[in-house]
Amino acid sequence: MHDAFDSAIRGDLSSARFEPGPTEDKLILSMGPQHPSTHGVLRIMLELEGEYILRAEPILGYIHRMHEWMAEQKTYLQFIPNMGRVDYLHAMAWNWAYAGAVERLAGIEVPERAEYIRVAVTELNRISSHLVWWGAYLLDLGAFTPILYAFDDREQILDILQSATGSRLTYSYITIGGVYDDVPDDFRERCIEFVNRLRSRLPMYRDLVTDNVILRGRCEGIGVLPVDMARRYGATGPVLRGSGVASDVRRCEPYGVYDRFEFRVPTYPEGDAMARYKVRLDELEASCDIVEQVVSSLPEGPVTAKVSRVFKPPKGEACMAVEGARGKILVHVRSDGGLKPYRVKLRAPGFSNMSLFSELAQGVLLADAVSILGSLDLVIPEIDR
């Protein structure tokens, strides 16, 4: 049967059928690359016995865009728009990781006001990412109403970010030396208004969904991820914190001005899909706390350092770690002293988080695999890069 499974992975489905004799209950099933619960062009080959998964193998590459190669063909400033298209749900974090790595390489000091603005827009973008995950995850599990509430709240964030950045999705706002432009005069008031609105809605989220017995039945005890397995695969972000490990780059390796703000790093020890769900819901509140602190103490001053249009960092290399909505983002930049990067390496948290699915899915029901996959919050363009 494994020969048929391997053939199916290679694209030969002629042998991926029932086999006679003692294995007649086994079936090869291709989940994706158009299945809605894979949230992108991800294909998972499954070997099933009845409704139980014996083996699962994710197959990538359907949306590979060669971002790292493109970095070597563009100048440092020209490559910035690419970062907003790696993880389109938390583009600000990727913008910051790349800009921060180049700033460390070139020894650029970012103005204080720009650092504050970076934190505010990145946290707003984190909230919008978690809201998309929340609505889409529940849609995967059969609940339609929550995604309408999620997108209603997300629209408020996109209005605020559009007023500051000119864009609603693939941002290029965080640039080398600071941010592209200052925030509008009503930025503080709109942020406070949104934070108060979301806080008033979270109890409704809890009553409607979190305490719902149907959701709990689909998530509690499903996809239990031990800490040692999470560390073996390099899992980070809410996936790791859902297994009880309080690892957050904003706290462990502070960057920008995050060390000036008080915020909670939520963890849950259960390690199941429900724990990962609750981590992200708690992070909505934590990000609200950060945004409120930032806009209440936003200093005056310039928002960008002077960077030459003919930008040539010195020879060397630097890296920057940022806490994205899906985990630890790492951008490594190497310079040969020219106009273009010699090498850019992107570390996507979703790749590590997805890699553990094969082991986590063994022995579970097919329906539970959808719950596990959704709890990992995968963005396939980020994984494929």
- Please indicate, yes or no, whether residues 303 and 169 belong to a single structural domain of this protein: yes
- Please indicate, yes or no, whether residues 11 and 92 belong to a single structural domain of this protein: no
Domain count, the chain: 2
Q: Can you tell me the distance from the alpha carbon of 244 to that of 45, in angstroms, rounded to the nearest whole number?
A: 30
What is the per-residue pLDDT for 21?
41
In a domain, 363, yes or no: no
State the residue range of the domain holding 42.
2-59
- Please indicate, yes or no, whether residues 27 and 154 belong to a single structural domain of this protein: no
- Please indicate, yes or no, whether residues 40 and 149 belong to a single structural domain of this protein: no
- Please indicate, yes or no, whether residues 127 and 263 belong to a single structural domain of this protein: yes
- Please indicate, yes or no, whether residues 75 and 125 belong to a single structural domain of this protein: yes
The answer to whether residues 75 and 66 touch, using CB atoms and an 8 Å cutoff, is no
Q: Can you tell me the distance from the alpha carbon of 246 to that of 176, in angstroms, rounded to the nearest whole number?
A: 30
Helix (H, G, I), strand (E, B) or coil at 246: coil
What is the per-residue pLDDT for 30?
86
Residue 324 DSSP label: E
Q: Residue 122 belongs to what H/E stretch?
A: helix 112-140
Q: Can you tell me the distance from the alpha carbon of 180 to that of 94, in angstroms, rounded to the nearest whole number?
A: 15
CATH of the domain at 274: 1.10.645.10
- Please indicate, yes or no, whether residues 77 and 52 belong to a single structural domain of this protein: no
Q: Can you tell me the distance from the alpha carbon of 13 to that of 28, in angstroms, rounded to the nearest whole number?
A: 9
In a domain, 366, yes or no: no
What is the per-residue pLDDT for 34?
73
Q: Can you tell me the distance from the alpha carbon of 8 to that of 295, in angstroms, rounded to the nearest whole number?
A: 54
Q: How far is CA 277 from CA 29, 48, 210, 216, in A?
A: 27, 27, 9, 10
The torsion angles phi and psi of 281, rounded to 5 degrees, stand at -65, -40
- Please indicate, yes or no, whether residues 233 and 146 belong to a single structural domain of this protein: yes
- Please indicate, yes or no, whether residues 28 and 163 belong to a single structural domain of this protein: no
- Please indicate, yes or no, whether residues 158 and 71 belong to a single structural domain of this protein: yes
Q: Can you tell me the distance from the alpha carbon of 253 to that of 245, in angstroms, rounded to the nearest whole number?
A: 15
In a domain, 361, yes or no: no
Q: Can you tell me the distance from the alpha carbon of 240 to that of 225, in angstroms, rounded to the nearest whole number?
A: 9
Where the chain has pLDDT below 70, the residues are 1-24, 35-38
In a domain, 12, yes or no: yes
- Please indicate, yes or no, whether residues 208 and 227 belong to a single structural domain of this protein: yes
In a domain, 376, yes or no: no
- Please indicate, yes or no, whether residues 83 and 208 belong to a single structural domain of this protein: yes
